[in-house]
Amino acid sequence: MLSVIHVTNGHALKIHRSSRTHFPAGVATMALHHLLLTPPHPFSFSPPLLPLLTPFSSSTHRSISLLTTTNPRPKLYSTALRPTHALLQTLDSGSVPSESALGDFSQWLRKNGAVGSSPPPVKPSFVPEGLGLVAQRDLPRNEVVVEVPKKLWIDADTVAASAIGRVCGGLKPWVAISLFLLREKAMGDASPWRPYLDILPRQTDSTIFWSEEELLEIQGTQLLSTTIGVKEYVKSEFDQVEDAIIVRYKDLFPSTITFLDFLWAFGILRSRAFPRLRGENLALIPLADLINHSDAITSGDPSWEIKGKGLFSRELIFSLRTPVPVKSGEQVYIQFDLSKSNAELALDYGFIESRSDRQAYTLTLEISESDPFYGDKLDIAESNGLGETAYFDIVLGGSLPPQMLPYLRLVALGGTDAFLLESIFRNSVWGHLELPVSRANEETICRVVRYACKSALSSYRTTIQEDEELINGGNLDRRLRIAVGVRAGEKKVLNQIEDIFRERELELDGLEYYQERRLKDLGLTGEQGEIIFWESR
Ligand SMILES: C[S@@+](CC[C@H](N)C(=O)[O-])C[C@H]1O[C@@H](n2cnc3c(N)ncnc32)[C@H](O)[C@@H]1O
C-alpha cells in the first residue's frame, strides 16, 4: 500500500498520504477499535490508507461499491407538515421525524421526569438542523436547560439490564448499544423506547451515509479514505456480531438486522454521543442529544455535567447548560468540539465550518522496514514519543507540528550523516535533528515532501479555483457543500505545505548544518564561518 521514494543514500524514505481519519487494512481494526472507546484525539483517526503517490485506486472503488448505502431516502413530511424555515425546505426530509412523533416524544419525556423545572426552559422543536432545543423564555448564560435522569440514558447498563444483556457481555459498548437500539426499534410499540427511537433521524449528512455518486465528489480526499475505512470497520464488526450473536440467538432478534441497519446505529451513536461519553462510558442521552452545534460558541468548556440528585444524591442526572444567553424563541446551541477538523465534523456529524483552522491535512511518515538503519531509527523515534509511523496534522494557516521536521530528518538520515545514529549520540540525537543535519538530508526532505504534496494534489478532480467558484455561486446541496469545502480545504493545506518546503529548498545554501555547528562549538570556525587552520612550524 505504501509508496516508496528512493533517496540518494541507498535506503528508502516512505512517505504517503494519510488522514487522521484513515484506516489501512492492517491498522484499521486497532485504530477503529479506539473509535468509540477513547475520547476524541487529533490522531485517533490517523492511520494511513491510500498511498500518496498513486491515484485513486480501483480497490478503493470496489470498497465504495461494497459499502455504500443504497437506501432510498424516505420522505416523512407531507407538504402540509413541511416546516416553513428556508433552510429546512432544503433539508432532506428523510432526516426529520413527523410532528406526531415529536409530540409523543415530548409526552414520554414528561412521563419520565426529563423536562426539569416547569415550565421547561427549552422545547424540542423543528429547526434548520432537523430537531433542536428552542428557548421558552430568555435564558441567562449557564442556565440549566435540560436534566435527564439516568433511567433514560441508553448505555452499557441499559443493555446489561435488557433481554439481550446476557449475550452482549463481552461486546464493545458501541456494538452492544447498537444491537440494543436495533432490537428495540424492531419491537415497535412493544418497546418502551419507541417514542425516542421514532425521533432519531434515518440518516445524517455524515459521509458514511453518502451514495456512491456523492462520494465521487470527494475523490482524492483524505475524507474519502477515512469514510471507506470507517465503513469497512463497521462492516467487519457487523460480520462478527452477525454470526456470534444475531444468528446464534435468533430468538432474541426476531427481525433481520442488516449491515445498513448496523451502520445507521453506528452513525447515530457517533453523531449524538457527547465527547466524554464515549468508549466505555458511551451513552445516548435522549432530549439532551437534540442540542445542535454552532460555530459562534467558541468556548471549549463542556456545557454539561453528570451530577447526583435526590435523596443522598443517589440518582444520577445529565445536566445541560446554555453556554451563552439565549432569547426566548431562539435555539440553544453548544460547541461540539473545537479540535475537530472539517473532515472529522463531516464524518461524525455531517456538517463543516468555514473557519480556516478546521481545514487540515494529515501527513503520515514512516520509517521503512527495509531501511538499513531501521532498528536505530525506530529506537530514536520511540525514545521521543513517536513510532515507526507518525502522523502530523497540519492546519491551514498554522505552522508545522514541532516534531515533524526532526522526524523527517531522522527518516531521511543516511550516508555520511549515519554516524548520528550511533549509540553514543542516543541521548543527544533528537536535539541535533531539531536543526538541519546536512545539506543532503535537508534537500531530501524538501524534495520528498514537495513531491508528495504535488502527487496528492494531482489526485483531486477539481482545482481550488473551481471549488471556490462553486462555493461562491451558492445554492449547493448540503452534501455537495461539504464535499467542495473539504476538498478545497485539503488542497489549500497541501499547497501551504508545498510552499513551506519550496521556500526552505531555496534557503538550503544559507542554513547552518551539524558539522558547522560542531566546529563552531569547538571554536574551530571564525566569525564568517571560515575554518581556522593552525600551521605547525
Ligand atoms: C446531537 S444531534 C442534534 C440533533 C439533531 N439535529 C436531530 O435532528 O436529531 C447532531 C446532529 O444534528 C445536526 N446538526 C447539529 N448541528 C448542526 C449544524 N451546525 N449544522 C448542520 N447540522 C447540524 C447534524 O445532523 C448532526 O449529526
320-340 pLDDT tens trace? 999 999 999 999 999 999 999
Mean pLDDT of 64-86: 28
202 CA from centroid of ligand 1 (Å)? 13
| Per-residue pLDDT, 123 | 95
Residue 122 phi, psi (nearest 5)? -130, 160
The pLDDT value recorded for residue 236 is: 97
Output the residue whose Cα is nearest ligand 1's atom 15: 292
Q: Which stretches of 413-458 are assigned E, i.e. beta strand? A: none
Ligand 1: centre distance to CA 131 (Å): 7
pLDDT of residue 179: 98
Q: What is the structure's pLDDT at 309?
A: 78
Average pLDDT, the chain: 83
Cα(338) to ligand 1 centroid in Å equals: 16
Residue 74 Cα to ligand 1 midpoint, Å, equals 18
Ligand 1 atom closest to Cα of residue 271: 27
> Which amino acid is located at 520 in the chain?
K
CA 311, 317, 323, 328 dihedral sign is negative
CA angle 177, 180, 182 (to 5 degrees): 110
Per-residue burial over 185-219, b if 16 or more Cβ lie within 10 Å, else e, is bbbeeebebbbbbbbbbbbbbbbbbbeeebbebbb
Indicate which residue's Cα is closest to atom 13 of ligand 1: 129
Share of the chain above pLDDT 70, in %: 79
Residues with CB under 6 A from ligand 1: 129-132, 201, 204, 271-272, 289-290, 292-294, 349-351
Q: Is residue 224 predicted with pLDDT exceeding 50? A: yes
Mutate to test the pocket of ligand 1, among 154, 208, 270, 293 (most ligand atoms within 8 A of CB): 293
Per DSSP, helices labelled H in 112-155 are none
Which residues fall in the annotated binding site for S-adenosyl-L-methionine?
129-131, 272, 292-293
pTM for the model? 0.82
Count other C-beta atoms under 10 Å from residue 71's C-beta.
16
List the one residue out of 129, 94, 204, 82 whose CA is nearest residue 479. Answer: 204
pLDDT higher than 70, residue 161: yes
Q: Which atom of ligand 1 is nearest to the CA of 272?
A: 1
Q: Give the residue with greater pLDDT, 67 vs 94.
A: 94
Instruction: Give the range among 14-28, 191-205, 311-325 with minimum mean pLDDT.
Output: 14-28
Mind listing the domains of the chain with CATH numbers? Answer: 4-20+343-521 (3.90.1420.10), 97-153+285-338 (3.90.1410.10)
Among 102-106, 118-122, 390-394, 500-504, whose mean pLDDT is lowest? 118-122
In this structure, the residue with its CA closest to atom 1 of ligand 1 is 272
Write down the pLDDT at residue 315: 84
Which pLDDT does position 466 carry in this prediction? 97
Ligand 1 mean position, distance from CA 478 (Å): 13
Q: What residue owns the CA closest to ligand 1's atom 25? A: 204
Say what the pLDDT of residue 313 is. Answer: 66
Question: Among the atoms of ligand 1, which is closest to the Cα of residue 199?
Answer: 9
Distance 272 CA to ligand 1 centre (A): 8
Measured from the Cα of 206, ligand 1's closest atom is: 27
Residue 37: partners with Cβ closer than 8 Å, 6 or more residues away = 172, 173, 278, 279, 280
Expressed in angstroms and rounded, the spacing between residue 443 Cα and the centre of ligand 1 is 47
Cα 291 to ligand 1 centre (Å): 7
Confidence label for 278 from pLDDT (cuts 50, 70 and 90): confident
- Closest approach atom of ligand 1 to CA 336: 16
Tell me, what's the pLDDT at 344? 97
Atom 7 in ligand 1: residue holding the nearest Cα: 131
d(C-alpha 154, C-alpha 132), whole Å: 19
Does the ipTM exceed 0.95?
yes
Selected residue with higher pLDDT from 124 and 2: 124
Stretch among 79-83, 174-178, 381-385, 492-496 having the lowest mean pLDDT: 79-83
234-260 tens-digit pLDDT: 999 999 999 999 999 999 998 899 999
8-12, 97-101, 416-420, 501-505: least confident range? 8-12
Of all residues in the chain, the percent with pLDDT exceeding 90 is: 72
Point out which residues pair with 13 in neighbouring strands.
5
For residue 334, which of 348, 344, 346, 320 has the smallest C-alpha distance? 320
Ligand 1 centroid from CA 392, angstroms:
29
Per-residue pLDDT, 23: 32
Q: How far apart are CA 303 and CA 308, in angstroms?
A: 17
* 23 CA distance to ligand 1 middle (Å): 25
The alpha-carbon radius of gyration of the chain (Å, integer) is 27
Test site for ligand 1: of 294, 351, 354, most ligand atoms within 8 A of the Cβ: 351
3 state DSSP class of 429: helix
**Which residue's CA is the nearest one to ligand 1's atom 27?**
349
533 has pLDDT over 80: no
The DSSP bridge partners found for residue 394 are 361
pLDDT at 522 over 90: no
Q: Which atom of ligand 1 is nearest to the CA of 96?
A: 8
Residue with the larger pLDDT of the pair 415 and 32: 415
| Ligand 1 center to 351 CA (angstroms) | 8
CA 56/CA 64 separation, integer angstroms: 12
pLDDT at residue 1 in the model = 33
Q: Which residue lies with its CA nearest to atom 22 of ligand 1?
A: 129
Looking at this protein, which amino acid is placed at residue 477?
A: D
Q: Which atom of ligand 1 is nearest to the CA of 333?
A: 16
- Which of 292, 335, 345, 347 most suits a substitution to test ligand 1, by most atoms within 8 Å of the C-beta? 292
Q: What is the mean pLDDT of residues 357-361?
A: 96
Q: Whose CA is nearest to atom 18 of ligand 1?
A: 293
pLDDT band at 83 (very low <50, low <70, confident <90, very high): very low
What is the structure's pLDDT at 113? 80
Give me the mean pLDDT over the 414-430 stretch: 94
The C-alpha cell of 268 is what?
Answer: 447515530
* CA-CA-CA-CA torsion sign (273, 140, 298, 92): positive
Whether 261 has a pLDDT exceeding 60, the answer reads yes
What is residue 312's predicted lDDT score, i.e. its pLDDT? 63
pLDDT at 56: 27
CA distance 74 to 256: 20
- d(CA 45, CA 265) in angstroms, rounded, equals 19
pLDDT at 43 over 50: no
Binding site feature residues for substrate = 272, 276, 289, 304, 349
Of 300 and 526, more confident: 300
Residue 343: which of 7, 133, 49, 91 has the closest Cα?
A: 49
Ligand 1, closest atom to CA 289?
Answer: 1
In the structure, what pLDDT confidence band is assigned to residue 396 with cuts at 50, 70 and 90? Answer: very high
What ligand 1 atom has the least distance to the C-alpha of 348? Answer: 27
CA of 452 from ligand 1 middle (Å) equals: 36
Whether the per-residue pLDDT at 526 is higher than 90: the answer is: no
Long-range contacts of 384-387 (CB under 8 A, 24+ apart): 384/430
